[in-house]
Structure 1
Amino acid sequence: MTALHAIAQFPSLYKQGPGVLAGLPELVQGLNCDKALILAGPNAWAQAGGIFGQHSNLVHHPFTGECTSPEIDNAVHAIQQGGYGAVVGLGGGKVIDTARAAAHLAGCVPFISAPTVASTDAPTSATTVIYQVDGSFSHYLRSRNPTAVLVDTAIIARAPVRFLVAGLGDALSTWFEAESCRRSGSANVCGGLATLAAGAIARLCYDTIQADGPHAIAACLARMVTPAFERVVEANTLLSGLGFESGGLATAHAVHNGLTRIPACHHALHGEKVAFGVLVGLVLTGAPALQIRQVLEFCQSVGLPSHLAALGCTNPTQAELQAAAEGACAQGESIHNESVAVTPDRVLAAIIIADRLGQDFAMVKPQQ
């Protein structure tokens, strides 16, 4: 067996703050390309498209809302037919994933990530999550990290707070999954062992959302950019992105992928399903009750779902839960990075117990 080396990956440039998107035209010019395609859905374009004014080197291409192989192929065709020298993903995680994959498949043209929400850690990574047309998980595509990531917090502060909360769910998983990979000696998403920096970043991500999560939510509800809001946006986007990719994934994201097999969960956001996956992972690996309680308390404090009904799955059948467990345990899934034995039956039991714990906690400590 070939020994693993420590590997970490990063975007070339990360820039965050109010108004940074205004620098996109200059950034594109610096790449020595004549024009860039901006892949964006209608909401993101309505929020941010006006920032770019009449710059003829930035051309909007519509995104239909799901990162599927047909959607990626459509974007690849537009890039190649239009002769674009760069691609910008403007919006949430799925449009950013689609733009990244299309830029890679169109000939590895430079890719710029421009999130308008802080709902996932997709903007900094080299990983695209591709779904089936029916909304279920299909596969991952590895390409390259972005040439640049532009995080305009003035725009993100105006987005619905649910997106920020979902980002907290994605960020919540980062340290737990990186720790699982460290304990088991499993490879990170880059294909190597985690560096010390990756572990420290993952822990900083966890500490930041614990300290600033509720304050950031209050700022988002007021549509204000505050220091706590800036720190949480950085945690959701940069710290979580670097932490998951260079630290590794485990149960939480595998459970997310499994839950996409349940139609009732399709309306739940990525980070909402991942947050529940964190609880499943803690149950699966026999974590102390105090640690599980701390995660439940955090989820309640920021409004993250901690049981299936909160994900929209009010009366799942045994067959649906079994399908989710089997999906989470599919060959190559990150759940196999855990240091404990993993089988669909054990994961099914962990899902059921995590659901019961979340329900019981919500009943004992109702939302204020």
Structure 2
Amino acid sequence: MFTHRLVFPASVLRGRGAINHLGAVCGRLGQRALLVGGARGIASVEEKVADQLDQQMVSYLGHDTLGGTCCEEEIKQLADRLKRQGVEVVIATGGGRALDTAKAAGVLCNIPVVTLPSIAGTCSAITPLAFRYHQNGQFRDMFPLAYGPAAVVIDADLLATSPLHWLSAGLGDTLAKWYEYRAISDMNTLSGLSGVARINSELCFTLIKHYAADACQAIRQGQANLALEQVLDAIFLYAGLTSIMSNGAHTGAAHALYDGFTACDKTRHVAHGLLVGFGNLCLLALENRSDEELLAALSLARASAIPVHLNEINSDLNHADINLIIERSLRAPDMANMPTEITQQQMQEAIQRVQRLSYIKT
């Protein structure tokens, strides 16, 4: 009998000012804390983190800046540093790659990790998964972890001060939860966990459809509002639950195209969710969705500041680059989840159709 293993975060705090509970959360987990993440993420939270730990008399060991690629080498190096410094609790900040590196290193050395995302680019803060890459930045695999974060702190006030393109990346990645889940599932036979994943993924889409434009405006103004809180719940909570309920097996052509983009040195630096967001549109074209539905999806992508044309990703892409991206996407494990085999020609035509429709303003 198959046993479906569900791994949830132990605790989630969300809302405006949630970081004000960070010290109490960490104090229950250990007395020697280290902050890890990207340079920008650390700079945006370190003063507040140090103050929170001081209030709870937790020793702050300083910060450790990660290299920016969640690869096996960096995970092991971080795990070694955590052991050498006698770290008892890790506070991970930044985006998905930093959080995934910290989560994986924490599991390696059995140290609890508190995720404190400084950008809303993916649902990584919630999930027991690590998207691993090769050292050159090319996608490697989606690696399941033995357990998830010990705590998650999602502060809308903090996230409101992040650059807009990171929220857009989160919106693109979260929209994929619905677009891809619908594409790869038999929507007439969903039950149990599959049914829950479906409801969560559709809720992600509904919240973004209603609130994305106003949430983007909140980021432009640097001030949290109700719309931003709603889409943050979609990006972190409901998308994260979709990933957990489906055990990671919820991806399709949009993520496969992202895998292809990481094979090209002109596009692999672009945020995961922005590339997935463009991939969502290509997925709809692959499904032969109507022009009306595609135009509506394009309109939502624009409202979310998601790329709708390859030129918005990199204007210097040539035919060889595009062929490489497509070729690698067809070989990606995510593409194997599609209900029918996708060919090079189909993917080329899907991209061309999306780009042609992108010139029509709705």
Determine if the TM-score, normalized by the shorter chain, exceeds 0.5: yes
Match of 1:110 in 2: 112
Match of 1:215 in 2: 214
Whether the 8 Å contact between 1:264 and 1:313 is mirrored in structure 2 is no
Tell me the alpha carbon deviations over residues 91-129 of structure 1, each in whole angstroms, 9 at most, x when there is no partner.
1111101101111112x3222111011111111111111
Counterparts of 1:326 and 1:245 in 2: how far apart (Å)? 29
Match of 1:327 in 2: 328
Match of 2:337 in 1: 337
Instruction: Give the 3 Å change call, closer, same or farther, for CA 96–150 of structure 1 in structure 2.
Output: same
Counterparts of 1:77 and 1:323 in 2: how far apart (Å)? 37
Measured after TM superposition, the shift of residue 185 of structure 1 is 10
Counterparts of 1:216 and 1:311 in 2: how far apart (Å)? 22
Whether the 8 Å contact between 2:255 and 2:279 is mirrored in structure 1 is yes
Q: TM-score normalised to the size of structure 2?
A: 0.90
Whether the 8 Å contact between 1:202 and 1:243 is mirrored in structure 2 is yes
Counterparts of 1:76 and 1:245 in 2: how far apart (Å)? 24
SS at structure 1 position matched to 2:116: strand
Alignment of 1:275-286 (within 5 A): 275-286=277-288
Match of 2:198 in 1: 199
Measured after TM superposition, the shift of residue 291 of structure 1 is 2.5
Alignment of 1:1-368 (within 5 A): 8-31=6-29, 33-53=30-50, 55=54, 56-59=58-61, 60-106=63-109, 108-143=110-145, 144-183=147-186, 194-247=193-246, 248-312=250-314, 314-318=316-320, 320-330=321-331, 333-342=333-342, 346=343, 348-365=344-361
Structure 2 counterpart of 1:364, which letter? I
Counterparts of 1:86 and 1:185 in 2: how far apart (Å)? 45
Counterparts of 2:183 and 2:113 in 1: how far apart (Å)? 31
Counterparts of 2:255 and 2:197 in 1: how far apart (Å)? 18
Instruction: Give the 3 Å change call, closer, same or farther, for CA 157–171 of structure 1 in structure 2.
Output: same
Counterparts of 1:40 and 1:183 in 2: how far apart (Å)? 39
Give unmatched runs, 5+ long, in structure 1. Answer: none
Whether the 8 Å contact between 1:186 and 1:193 is mirrored in structure 2 is no
Measured after TM superposition, the shift of residue 208 of structure 1 is 0.2
SS at structure 2 position matched to 1:128: strand
Counterparts of 2:88 and 2:282 in 1: how far apart (Å)? 43
Instruction: Give the 3 Å change call, closer, same or farther, for CA 267–186 of structure 1 in structure 2.
Output: farther
Instruction: Give the 3 Å change call, closer, same or farther, for CA 176–365 of structure 1 in structure 2.
Output: same
SS at structure 1 position matched to 2:41: helix
Measured after TM superposition, the shift of residue 314 of structure 1 is 3.5
Measured after TM superposition, the shift of residue 26 of structure 1 is 1.4
Measured after TM superposition, the shift of residue 193 of structure 1 is 7.8
Counterparts of 1:359 and 1:254 in 2: how far apart (Å)? 19
Measured after TM superposition, the shift of residue 204 of structure 1 is 0.4
Instruction: Give the 3 Å change call, closer, same or farther, for CA 234–340 of structure 1 in structure 2.
Output: same
Whether the 8 Å contact between 2:254 and 2:276 is mirrored in structure 1 is yes
Whether the 8 Å contact between 1:110 and 1:146 is mirrored in structure 2 is yes
Whether the 8 Å contact between 2:131 and 2:141 is mirrored in structure 1 is yes
SS at structure 2 position matched to 1:90: strand
Instruction: Give the 3 Å change call, closer, same or farther, for CA 96–77 of structure 1 in structure 2.
Output: same
Counterparts of 2:338 and 2:33 in 1: how far apart (Å)? 42
Whether the 8 Å contact between 2:282 and 2:354 is mirrored in structure 1 is no
Whether the 8 Å contact between 2:35 and 2:42 is mirrored in structure 1 is no
SS at structure 2 position matched to 1:129: strand
Counterparts of 2:170 and 2:189 in 1: how far apart (Å)? 25
SS at structure 1 position matched to 2:64: strand
Counterparts of 1:357 and 1:91 in 2: how far apart (Å)? 35
Tell me the alpha carbon deviations over residues 132-152 of structure 1, each in whole angstroms, 9 at most, x when there is no partner.
222111222210221211011
Tell me the alpha carbon deviations over residues 256-296 of structure 1, each in whole angstroms, 9 at most, x when there is no partner.
11111111112321111001111222222333333322211
Measured after TM superposition, the shift of residue 160 of structure 1 is 0.9
Counterparts of 1:237 and 1:284 in 2: how far apart (Å)? 28
Give unmatched runs, 5+ long, in structure 2. Answer: none
Structure 1 counterpart of 2:82, which letter? I
SS at structure 2 position matched to 1:303: coil
Counterparts of 2:318 and 2:235 in 1: how far apart (Å)? 30
Q: Aligned pair count?
A: 352
Measured after TM superposition, the shift of residue 303 of structure 1 is 1.8
- What percent identity do the matched residue pairs reach? 24
Measured after TM superposition, the shift of residue 184 of structure 1 is 8.7
Counterparts of 1:71 and 1:193 in 2: how far apart (Å)? 38
CA RMSD of aligned residues (A): 2.4
